[in-house]
Structure 1
Amino acid sequence: MSALDTLITGGEVLLPDGLHRVDLGLSDGKVAGVYAPGTAPDAAETIDAGGKTVLPGIVDIHFHVRAPAYPERGTVLSETRAAAAGGVTTLFEMPISKPCCSTPEELARRRDHFAENAVIDFALYAAPGDLTEASRDKMMDLGNIAWKIFTTPSPAGRADEFEGLAFPDEADQMRALQLLSDTGLPIVVHAESAALLAHYEEKAKALDPADAMTHGASRPAICESVAVAKLLAMNITAQAKLHIAHVTSAETVEVLRAFAGTSDFTAETCPQYLFATEEDVAKAGIYAKVNPPIRTKADQDALWQAIEDGVINYVTTDHAPFAKAEKQAAEGDFPGAPPGVPGIEFILPAMLDAVSQGRLSLKRAHDLICANGARRYGLYPHKGALLPGSAADVTIIDLAAQTTFSPETMHTHAREVAHLFYGRCLQGRVVQTILAGTTVFQDGSVTGTQGGGRFVTPGLGK
């Protein structure tokens, strides 16, 4: 009987201190050992990674599929298959659903639904709901990975999807921060000022709804930066484990710099803000509408500088699929178009492309999209590392190959509305994705099984 289930040989393996030419042994769903070439025990299976690079499987901490609602937009099965194709082995699903994941009952229902359908591992955010300790504690007992709130009101006609999630009133935001601060779990905030949004949306009614610039005019950077500044000021008192979602602007970067050291807060941005500008939105039309909006080249440059300076240490997908019919119905109407792009297959190739251009090192790129998130959410080194005892979650990449994006090459159900990414050719390609020692994607084909993913709860890294 072989000592190892699988041995990955011949590749450069990304360990916590950088790349090493070592062999990686996997057994019983975990990393069994890291070996000098030629010194590993016998294995039942050998994977030749010669010429390839071996990474810990990617952990995406900001993902939306909204299931079991809206299957026409994508399902847990379709979108976790897409995640596997993108080298992602663990995703954190946000609480927007129908109804909102803001009660213990809905959290349990979504957990069970994901467990039956997910191809990769998953964790679930919860919204704080009625802001009571009883509800909070029941959801923690069920294993939510973290909390999420919006500082914006519920979108028109979607009150049930945002019940207990949207807190436009600052007093309620403060209540939420204080209620959740002693849970030890991160509180992720979609931060835009409700009052300023109302002001600028009213002004934008005089603009051409078909013009991509109208969306940016209705949600300018000041809406984001003011909301973030207020949250960080509140957190000096609340002292919660705060995380600012999808930062888009130079203004907000300056706010983050100004509040450095005042409390335990972190911030993320997304590939759509790092690799696209409002000019790309104008070309792609309503298919590239996201909230907050994709902004200018100057904002994009500021985000890259913030990454270089360590002001922003997380890059997430904010994957948000919509049905083709929904997007098509909003042609020529940016204010009325559904906001979101399906980015789960884009994030790793995009960051590899940035590595190829010398923007950042491979280790830094991986930290941004994986290891830092695993650390922040208490999963490291079970997730986000390839060390003895870590989960055998592995992504094998080819830095010499390229990835092109089109409806024919993508796996997401929303591939027909991924216009923002069409035609892009990026340096770097996902070759194989391994979850708990089992291959779930290889050479363009998803091989993972429905229900093969596991529910991830806080504390696995302890």
Structure 2
Amino acid sequence: MKLDLWIKNGLVYRLEENFQLANIGVKNGKIHIITEPHVQFDAERVIDAEGLYVLPGMIDAHVHFREPAKDPSSTETFFTGTRAAAAGGITSIIEMPNSFPCTYNTDLLNNRKEILKSEALIDYGLYGAAGSDHLDDIIPLSNEGISAYKTFMHKAPTGRELEFEGFTMTSDRDLYEGFKQISQTGLPLALHAEHEELLSYFSEFAERTFVEGDYNKHLLARNTLVETSAINRVVFFAEQLHVPVICCHVSSPEALKIIKRAKQDGIRIYAEMCPHYLIFDDSYLEKLGPYGKCNPPLRSPQQIEALWSYIEDGTIDYISSDHSPFPKTLKELGYTNILKSPAGFPGTELTLPLMLDQVNKGKLSMYKLVELMSVNPAKTFGMYPNKGTLGIGTDADITIVDMSAQRTVNIHELYTVARETALLYEGLKLRGLPVYTIVRGKIVAEQGKVDDKARGWGQFIPRAQPK
């Protein structure tokens, strides 16, 4: 029998045995065989992975490509976004609901599915929006294969109200009614956890004391108390209404302390982390102004060091990019008033390289990285074991990495359309890079170069209905 793809001599991730020198054979998009190194098979394409790690495909469970958009020139398309992800070793993404209009009902969701069919290079899941202004639309979304629900605990940013329709739960009444609906579906609810009342209070204070060019006003407006008070509310409603919850982009050890305690109490709560919170401290806001702004903000060096202990003890479940591709024209609104700039960085392309560099620096093991970027997101979002592992019969989603390869980030070489706003990463020296991105047996990126002919190869990953 002739295989479609034969990967030989690689250090292959094995669930029970850590990493093992082995070969993998792929046929019809599935892993067909895993053998000892001396075994040989005929194949259409052979990859000699000697000295390379062969990993389950990496999953970025938090991206904002935002197609369709109010202004298409202001963000990614599903093609450009998945192309950037593929360049960074990502084989599956989960797209957030803040399109235009927001994805709060089944018609809007199915419209996005139609767009993705012909555009995506890699596989994809979709969140459904959940908000207090469209409560009756929440349950029907659960029948459409969404990966999870998502909501914001603060009001829509000024000027983006339609993008956030059906996407916020700001009061305790909102949260109660929203959680009550979601509790009937069995699906998890992901939350942007910043407390509306405290955020408004501190933002108003920052505005009153505003001085042009004082970027630290952002740190005041969204201080740690804004995050921790929101997460306390999340824990309360999760426990009372039995809804599994995901705290997105947790930025502080104070918040993770609350989550760890909730886990110990048996509450189904998951913590998402982003590389920028583990690597870059709040001084980058002062250095870069709006190009160093994210929500929640970057924290102090002491807080960053404390975050790593929650990687080690398992409180942090998975790592995502929170890819936010805003154009330069919008980001630079923050030069005069930091509070006016949209928040976030284009990160899906560099999330894996950033974390591989941290493996090389001894901050975590390769095995732990696979858990955080493949196994755990696959389990959290109902993809496992078809994705998130390497086993006979599973999807042949494979990321091959070279831990000795090096790169100095030049943002102008990035695939994302928002490359000009990726100044946080400019000049960064990274060691450890993805060299093959394989989606259901098809090589969609090789040595950092994406195969644009793979456009439309990506497939929707429907989450099975919970029993």
Are residue 211 (structure 1) and residue 214 (structure 2) matched? yes
Are residue 7 (structure 1) and residue 20 (structure 2) matched? no
Q: Aligned residue for 1:424?
A: 428
In structure 2, runs of 5+ residues without a counterpart are none
Query: Normalising by the residue count of structure 1, what TM-score does the alignment of the two structures yield?
Result: 0.96
Q: Is the 8 A contact 1:103 1:129 kept in 2?
A: no
Q: Aligned residue for 1:237?
A: 240
**1:44 and 1:235 mapped to 2: Cα distance?**
50
Say which SS state the counterpart of residue 340 (structure 2) adopts.
Answer: coil
Q: Is the 8 A contact 1:286 1:332 kept in 2?
A: no
**1:358 and 1:390 mapped to 2: Cα distance?**
31
Q: Aligned residue for 1:342?
A: 346
Q: Is the 8 A contact 2:186 2:466 kept in 1?
A: no
How far 1:415 sits from its partner (Å)? 0.7
Say which SS state the counterpart of residue 19 (structure 1) adopts.
Answer: strand
Say which SS state the counterpart of residue 330 (structure 1) adopts.
Answer: helix
Q: Aligned residue for 2:198?
A: 196
Structure 1 counterpart of 2:462, from 454, 457, 460: 457
**1:58 and 1:7 mapped to 2: Cα distance?**
20
CA, structure 1 residues 49+450, in 2 after alignment: closer, same or farther (shift >3 Å)? same
Q: Aligned residue for 1:397?
A: 401
CA deviations on 1:242-268 (whole Å, 9 max, x unpaired) are 110111112212222332324111111
In structure 1, runs of 5+ residues without a counterpart are none
Q: Aligned residue for 2:255?
A: 252
**2:161 and 2:304 mapped to 1: Cα distance?**
33
CA, structure 1 residues 131+155, in 2 after alignment: closer, same or farther (shift >3 Å)? closer
Say which SS state the counterpart of residue 11 (structure 1) adopts.
Answer: strand
How far 1:131 sits from its partner (Å)? 7.1
**2:304 and 2:24 mapped to 1: Cα distance?**
38
Are residue 366 (structure 1) and residue 365 (structure 2) matched? no
Are residue 352 (structure 1) and residue 356 (structure 2) matched? yes
CA, structure 1 residues 4+161, in 2 after alignment: closer, same or farther (shift >3 Å)? same
How far 1:132 sits from its partner (Å)? 7.0
Q: Is the 8 A contact 1:253 1:302 kept in 2?
A: no
How far 1:138 sits from its partner (Å)? 2.7
Q: Is the 8 A contact 1:60 1:317 kept in 2?
A: yes
**1:133 and 1:286 mapped to 2: Cα distance?**
35
Are residue 186 (structure 1) and residue 198 (structure 2) matched? no
Specify the code of the residue in structure 1 equivalent to 2:407. T
Q: Aligned residue for 1:385?
A: 389
Q: Aligned residue for 2:66?
A: 66
**2:27 and 2:194 mapped to 1: Cα distance?**
46
Matched residue count: 461
Q: Is the 8 A contact 1:380 1:460 kept in 2?
A: no
How far 1:209 sits from its partner (Å)? 4.2
Q: Is the 8 A contact 2:142 2:187 kept in 1?
A: no
Structure 2 counterpart of 1:438, from 438, 442, 445: 442
Q: Is the 8 A contact 1:267 1:311 kept in 2?
A: yes
Q: Is the 8 A contact 2:378 2:385 kept in 1?
A: yes
CA, structure 1 residues 83+57, in 2 after alignment: closer, same or farther (shift >3 Å)? same
**1:196 and 1:90 mapped to 2: Cα distance?**
36
Q: Aligned residue for 1:118?
A: 120
**2:212 and 2:332 mapped to 1: Cα distance?**
15
| Larger mean Cα displacement after TM superposition, 38-47 or 386-395 | 38-47
Q: Aligned residue for 1:103?
A: 105
Specify the code of the residue in structure 1 equivalent to 2:251. T
Q: Is the 8 A contact 2:135 2:178 kept in 1?
A: no
How far 1:170 sits from its partner (Å)? 1.2
**1:352 and 1:460 mapped to 2: Cα distance?**
34
CA deviations on 1:59-93 (whole Å, 9 max, x unpaired) are 11111011021322221111110000000010000
| Larger mean Cα displacement after TM superposition, 201-210 or 214-223 | 201-210
CA, structure 1 residues 298+401, in 2 after alignment: closer, same or farther (shift >3 Å)? same
How far 1:429 sits from its partner (Å)? 0.9
**1:298 and 1:186 mapped to 2: Cα distance?**
32
CA, structure 1 residues 133+419, in 2 after alignment: closer, same or farther (shift >3 Å)? closer
Q: Aligned residue for 2:31?
A: 31
Q: Aligned residue for 1:19?
A: 19
**2:78 and 2:216 mapped to 1: Cα distance?**
33
**2:77 and 2:334 mapped to 1: Cα distance?**
22
Q: Is the 8 A contact 1:100 1:162 kept in 2?
A: yes
CA deviations on 1:217-265 (whole Å, 9 max, x unpaired) are 1111100000000110121111111110111112212222332324111
**1:281 and 1:107 mapped to 2: Cα distance?**
35
Structure 2 counterpart of 1:316, from 315, 320, 335: 320
Say which SS state the counterpart of residue 436 (structure 2) adopts.
Answer: strand
Query: Normalising by the residue count of structure 2, what TM-score does the alignment of the two structures yield?
Result: 0.95
**1:62 and 1:444 mapped to 2: Cα distance?**
22
Specify the code of the residue in structure 2 equivalent to 1:58. M
Say which SS state the counterpart of residue 379 (structure 1) adopts.
Answer: coil
Q: Aligned residue for 1:92?
A: 94
Q: Aligned residue for 2:42?
A: 42
| Larger mean Cα displacement after TM superposition, 15-24 or 250-259 | 250-259
CA deviations on 1:67-126 (whole Å, 9 max, x unpaired) are 021322221111110000000010000001111100111111111111221111111100
Structure 1 counterpart of 2:336, from 312, 332, 338: 332
How far 1:326 sits from its partner (Å)? 1.7
How far 1:435 sits from its partner (Å)? 0.9
**1:391 and 1:131 mapped to 2: Cα distance?**
39
**2:309 and 2:96 mapped to 1: Cα distance?**
28
Q: CA RMSD in A?
A: 1.7
Say which SS state the counterpart of residue 411 (structure 2) adopts.
Answer: coil
CA, structure 1 residues 101+153, in 2 after alignment: closer, same or farther (shift >3 Å)? same
Q: Is the 8 A contact 1:379 1:461 kept in 2?
A: no
How far 1:310 sits from its partner (Å)? 1.4
Q: Is the 8 A contact 1:212 1:278 kept in 2?
A: no
**2:253 and 2:144 mapped to 1: Cα distance?**
38
How far 1:37 sits from its partner (Å)? 1.1
Say which SS state the counterpart of residue 439 (structure 1) adopts.
Answer: strand
CA, structure 1 residues 460+153, in 2 after alignment: closer, same or farther (shift >3 Å)? closer
**Mapping of 1:275-294 within 5 angstroms?**
275-294=279-298
**1:370 and 1:231 mapped to 2: Cα distance?**
25
How far 1:140 sits from its partner (Å)? 2.1
**1:109 and 1:292 mapped to 2: Cα distance?**
30
How far 1:444 sits from its partner (Å)? 2.4
